[in-house]
């Protein structure tokens, strides 16, 4: 049996840091939307576990795909293997959640390949041990997140096209959260206030001023995008920035005008993850 599944990108439409817990982790309020652009993972049944993941730096056993697969085997006692191949499109340390999304796709893909029958909440709980953003990709729905990002309330957002720009630097999440100047006391708000046009300008990404100061290229890219596309934000702890655009054509026109040292992509938001759509389609193919 083989399976080919997407690992979509996410955007944090806003990100407020509301406090810091005694273990050092920060409490957040953030709105996740999923995009129709991302990595692709190929799974094939095999006797042993192997991973081919070109373009991801570091030791293979640190790859979140490998860690998700071994964590799933430990959790279930399953001894089966798989050949996994990752086609990487999302920039690592880009704030678009590529590694977390790869991990979630691995959990759902192997759950199917190995016929484990774990529920989404069970897979999300395993995912949370790998990273704060994995559960939202496991559930595969746009969501308002609180706590350290694991308390999810699913929301339906109007579909929207975005231009996403990668300024060419990789940002370590811990570097932003350890910065002395990070705003850590944004008042707690509600998702309803974000969805209400009259109050929406009050929302922002608290990590953005820190990232702009530490990485001048993020500052330059945001200034470029604000000038050419209007309202623009950083996603997560960076480095990618994004702006809503009217349609694909509008996004492609701006993309073509980007300074040559920056890359980007145009994508549309989806309330249901492309991963869940693909799993549903492959289920009906195999039944």
Ligand X SMILES: C[C@@](CO)(OP(=O)(O)O)[C@H](O)COP(=O)(O)OP(=O)(O)OC[C@H]1O[C@@H](n2ccc(N)nc2=O)[C@H](O)[C@@H]1O
Ligand Y SMILES: Nc1ncnc2c1ncn2[C@@H]1O[C@H](COP(=O)(O)OP(=O)(O)O)[C@@H](O)[C@H]1O
Exactly one of 39, 88, 102, 133 is catalytic; name it.
133
Size of the site for ligand Y (CB under 6 A): 21
33, 63, 111, 273: which one binds ligand Y (CB under 6 A): 63
What is the rounded CA–CA span in Å between residue 72 and residue 110?
8
Closest by CA to 101, choosing from 283, 235, 248, is 235
Q: Does 221 bind ligand Y (CB under 6 A)?
A: no
Q: For the beta carbon of residue 188, count every other beta carbon within 10 angstroms.
A: 10
CB of 271 to ligand X, least distance (A): 18
30, 37, 102, 211: which one binds ligand Y (CB under 6 A): 102
Q: Structure tokens of 236?
A: 């997560």
CB of 12 to ligand X, least distance (A): 5
**φ and ψ at 236, to 5 degrees?**
55, -135
**Residue 262 binding: pick among ligand Y, ligand X, none (C-beta 5-8 Å cut-off by kind):** none
Helix crossing, 98-113 with 64-76: angle to 10°? 40
Q: Does 92 bind ligand Y (CB under 6 A)?
A: yes
Element (H, E) at 228: helix 216-229
DSSP line for 71-105: HHHHHH----EEEEEEE--SPTTSSS-HHHHHHHH
Q: Does 98 bind ligand Y (CB under 6 A)?
A: yes
Annotated binding site for ATP: 91-101
CB of 38 to ligand X, least distance (A): 14
Using the structure block, give the residue that is written with the tokens 């300008």: 201
What is the rounded CA–CA span in Å between residue 83 and residue 75?
20
**Catalytic residue list contains 263:** no
**Residue 63 binding: pick among ligand Y, ligand X, none (C-beta 5-8 Å cut-off by kind):** ligand Y
Are the beta carbons of 215 and 262 closer than 8 angstroms? no
**Residue 92 binding: pick among ligand Y, ligand X, none (C-beta 5-8 Å cut-off by kind):** ligand Y
**Residue 149 binding: pick among ligand Y, ligand X, none (C-beta 5-8 Å cut-off by kind):** ligand X
CB of 87 to ligand Y, least distance (A): 11
Residue ranges binding ligand X (CB under 6 A)? 12, 24-26, 28, 30, 95, 97, 100, 131-133, 148-149, 173-174, 177, 236-237
**Catalytic residue list contains 133:** yes
What is the rounded CA–CA span in Å between residue 228 and residue 248?
16
**Residue 270 binding: pick among ligand Y, ligand X, none (C-beta 5-8 Å cut-off by kind):** none
Question: Which of 63, 232 has the CB closer to ligand Y?
Answer: 63
CB of 169 to ligand X, least distance (A): 13
Using the structure block, give the residue that is written with the tokens 């982790």: 25
Residue 41, strand partner residues: 5, 86
What is the rounded CA–CA span in Å between residue 219 and residue 226?
10
Residues that bind ligand Y (CB under 6 A): 53, 56-58, 62-65, 92-100, 102, 170, 173, 236
Catalytic residue annotation: 10, 133
């Amino acid at each position: 049996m083989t399976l080919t599944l997407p690992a979509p990108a996410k955007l944090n439409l806003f990100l407020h840091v509301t406090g810091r817990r005694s273990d050092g982790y920060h409490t957040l309020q953030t709105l996740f939307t999923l995009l129709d652009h991302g990595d692709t993972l190929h799974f094939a049944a095999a006797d042993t576990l192997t991973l081919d993941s070109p373009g991801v730096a570091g030791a293979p056993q640190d790859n979140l795909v490998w860690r998700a697969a071994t964590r799933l085997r430990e959790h279930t006692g399953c001894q089966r293997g798989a050949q996994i191949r990752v086609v990487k499109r999302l920039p690592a340390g880009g704030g678009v959640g590529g590694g977390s999304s790869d991990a979630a796709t691995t959990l759902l893909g192997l759950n199917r390949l190995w016929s484990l029958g774990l529920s989404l909440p069970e897979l999300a709980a395993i995912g949370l041990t790998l990273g704060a953003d994995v559960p939202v990709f496991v559930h595969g729905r746009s969501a308002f997140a609180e706590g350290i990002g694991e308390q999810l309330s699913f929301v339906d957002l109007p579909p929207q096209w975005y231009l996403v720009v990668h300024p060419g630097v990789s940002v370590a999440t811990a570097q932003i959260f350890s910065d002395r100047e990070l705003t850590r006391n944004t008042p707690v708000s509600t998702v309803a206030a974000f969805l209400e046009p009259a109050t929406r300008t009050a929302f922002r990404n608290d990590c953005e001023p820190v990232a702009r100061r530490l990485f001048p290229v993020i500052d330059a890219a945001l200034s470029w995008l604000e000038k050419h596309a209007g309202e623009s934000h950083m996603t997560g702890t960076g480095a990618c920035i994004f702006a809503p655009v009217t349609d694909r054509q509008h996004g492609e026109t701006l993309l073509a005008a980007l300074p040559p040292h920056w890359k980007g992509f145009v994508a549309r938001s989806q309330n249901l993850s492309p991963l869940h759509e693909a799993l549903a389609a492959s289920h009906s193919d195999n039944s």
